[in-house]
Structure 1
Amino acid sequence: MSARAPSAPAATAGRTRRREGRSWSAGWFVVPFLVFFVLFMIWPIIYGVWLSLTDQSLVGGEPEFVGLANYTEALADPEAWRALGHTAYFTLISTVPLVLVALVMATLVYTGVRGQWLWRLAFFAPYLLPVATVAMVWSWLLEENLGLVNQTLVSLGLGGVGWLSDENAAMWSVTIATVWWTVGFNFLLYLSAMQAIPNHLYEAASIDGAGPFRRLWSITLPQLGRITGVVLILQILSSLKVFDQIYLMTKGGPNGATQSFLLYVYDAGFTGYRLGYAAALSYLFLALVVIVSIVQVLLARRRETTA
């Protein structure tokens, strides 16, 4: 006599149990990531918040809880607002060329200029350099007495410029170095977006008699609207967090003319030895970056819905 087949509900329950068992087994593969995420992301955030509520000093000693005193002091600190103004100024004067220059570079390569591999390498290679190398090279080039830039200007009878020692020129010098260093990334984004534009659009425009400039203006640029929004968001966030090149090239000088907000946070924590106050400054800056990011995303979505 043959054994009876299991009923449908029993078979379904068995499959469900086996599926749940496999799900739990797969979940163990996530545990190492969760451990590292908690140790190196969640816990530092929690500890930083607690630190911002104390008067912790770098020289040691038992910290005392001060509540929101660090935050109120930071909001009334004129030096913090000055550093924030320098950061906003750098963001403005660096974002515009980093978008426009990258677009021009990508257009030159995409339109079929000869030696494309060489142009792509030349445009993107600086982005692969470490910031210390970039800062050292540009500091040598812009050195006031022996730098190549000033020697060239003097030989042309134009006179030298204190690129890194003049308060009016220092931020522009850092911006020029930053544009040269990072524009390759935006160039790559634009070039990838251009290569994704359907060819039939250009073919139809050519049949209608549109020339190269007309195709660029009526097809290429409108198709780049979304990637331009992405580039703007990434570039603004990156420029707001500027620290390395300013610290290496000018250390915030001359007379604090290039002191960014993150450099001020560094000075407050590691020069002024006020870790609690530096933590409060950091979280206020984090809140500002989050607000800017949300506003940019909302504006981008609004443009897409109205387009």
Structure 2
Amino acid sequence: MSRNRAARRDPGFAFVGPFLLIYCAVLIAPMLHGMWLSLHVVDIWGDGRFAGLANYGRLLADPTFGQSLVNTFAVTLMVVPILTGIALALALALNRASRGAAVLRGIFFSSAVLSVTIVTLIWRFILAPDAGLLGEAAQAIGAEPIPFLSSPDLALWALAITTIWWSIGLPMLLFLAGLQQVPADLYEAAALDRASRWRTLLSITLPSLKRTTILVVMLQTAAQLQLFGQAQLLTAGGPSGASRTVVLFMNEVAFGRWELGYAQAAAEVLFAIILVVTLTQYWLTGRAGEGEGGR
């Protein structure tokens, strides 16, 4: 009897086995190697020596890493709420079966298919204070150009604006997909009750998009905590480190100073932060859902 059960399970293991092998080789093994590497003082030329938690102790005392961590959280808080709100507004405005709406959906999504290099070149052309589009427009009306790329107070906003423009497509599509799942019967009932558009939005549309909103916020939070290309290509982490993010810090340490173990320790810290933030968001939204269900 047990042999028959094992024989029935064998095809399942044979089907899943290749995926598990590739998954372990591509994700699990490098992750474990990275954890091992973070415990060593090592450069690119050798295996180095075991240092225990010394790299993590250095990170705690490193003001450059601390500033990059603050910058990363700041740009995430700038991007995620604004990006979520704009994507939701666009989805609500373009959730119709007209040709014009389809064209606009394609236009707004088109930025998502561009590489980070193209995106940063476009926004350097717009934001550069000396010869940029905004600078030329300001000079045309007799105003001073806004130094988005050279001001410590505005550099993070330059990253945020660029990221929002680049990333708006996917959240908008997710909200559009969520709107397609809202039952039409609810809107018909609201129309029979003569509910206003504002009331329908607050009582039907937004509650129906709760899961989609949670998904968008979680995905964008994880993505922005890993922001790298915009900071490297648009501002190079400047001025004076005002826009240096954690991933840019890791890149500078690993490939500028060849301290692979130290850079990997920073990567492990960032991984732990992303994991904690994501699980906290999931837990808080889950508790909110239970509270609503209880009422």
Instruction: Report the TM-score when normalising by structure 1.
Output: 0.89
Deviation at 1:17?
Answer: 4.0
Partner of 1:24: 10
Partner of 1:4: none
What is the correspondence of 1:11-90 to structure 2 with a 5 Å cutoff? 13=1, 17-18=3-4, 20-58=6-44, 60-90=45-75
1:265 maps onto 2:250 in alignment:
yes
Partner of 1:216: 201
The counterpart of 1:132, out of the listed 89, 112, 117, is 117
Structure 1: segments with no counterpart, 5+ residues: 1-12
Structure 2: segments with no counterpart, 5+ residues: none
Identical aligned pairs, as a percentage? Answer: 35
Structure 2 residue identity aligned to 1:299: L
Partner of 1:165: 150
Deviation at 1:186?
Answer: 0.9
Instruction: Report the TM-score when normalising by structure 2.
Output: 0.93
3-state DSSP of counterpart to 1:115: helix
After superposing the two structures, state which structure 1 stretch, 146-155 or 78-87, moved more: 146-155
Distance 1:80 1:42 in 2: 26
Partner of 1:279: 264
Deviation at 1:29?
Answer: 3.5
Structure 1 residue identity aligned to 2:18: P
Q: How far does the alpha carbon of each residue in 1:123-147 deviate from its partner, in whole angstroms, 9 at most, with x for none?
A: 2111111111111111122222221
Structure 2 residue identity aligned to 1:200: D
3-state DSSP of counterpart to 1:291: helix
3-state DSSP of counterpart to 2:194: coil
Cα distance 1:125–1:39, how it changes in 2: closer, same or farther (>3 A)? same
Distance 2:204 2:70 in 1: 38
Q: How far does the alpha carbon of each residue in 1:16-45 deviate from its partner, in whole angstroms, 9 at most, with x for none?
A: 645533532443343332332222222212
Cα distance 1:249–1:38, how it changes in 2: closer, same or farther (>3 A)? same
Aligned residues: CA RMSD: 1.8
After superposing the two structures, state which structure 1 stretch, 172-181 or 222-231, moved more: 222-231
Distance 2:8 2:195 in 1: 60
Q: How far does the alpha carbon of each residue in 1:30-85 deviate from its partner, in whole angstroms, 9 at most, with x for none?
A: 33323322222222122112211111013x24511111111111122221111100
Number of residue equivalences: 292
Distance 2:136 2:63 in 1: 39
After superposing the two structures, state which structure 1 stretch, 141-150 or 77-86, moved more: 141-150
What is the correspondence of 1:222-261 to structure 2 with a 5 Å cutoff? 222-261=207-246
Structure 2 residue identity aligned to 1:109: L
Q: Which has the larger radius of gyration?
A: 1
